[in-house]
Amino acid sequence: MTQTELNLSEQRQRVLIEDQVLMQDYLRYNTNWPSAAKIARSLWPTLSSENGKRRVRAVAEASSGSILSRPGVAGYKLATLVSVDEYMREIRPKYAGQIKKMTARLKDMDSRIHGRERR
């Protein structure tokens, strides 16, 4: 990595941390699983709709699990505001199911690609 790439990476990391603080503050007061579009409109109104939703997803992914999303529900919530029961009953099984499907898909793709190489 060049120095410029390192500087850009550090800058992106700082922005993500700042955005996490903003999003966590927003989610403390908007607790009913607000959508990525709603969060983006409130926090980053100058971004296009798609870029705003991408930013919300990136912030949630970089949050080390402190910002949750629910598969099948387009919304976000602070982990501290989700009960263990809700997490274990509704959120975790859906993620586990998605992981299982994606793992199977990845294996199928690997088989197709590697099967081609053998020809």
Number of residues written out for the chain: 119
Reported as a single tens digit per residue, the pLDDT across 8-47 is 466 667 778 889 999 999 999 999 999 999 999 999 999 9
- Identify whether residues 13 and 66 lie together within a single domain: yes
Residues 39 and 95 in one domain: no
User: How many domains are there within the chain?
Assistant: 2
111 shares a domain with 53: no
For the entire predicted model, the pTM comes to: 0.76
- Its domain, for residue 104, covers 83-119
- Per-residue pLDDT at 14: 73
Q: Are residues 34 and 89 in the same domain?
A: no
Question: Do residues 65 and 99 both lie within one domain?
Answer: no
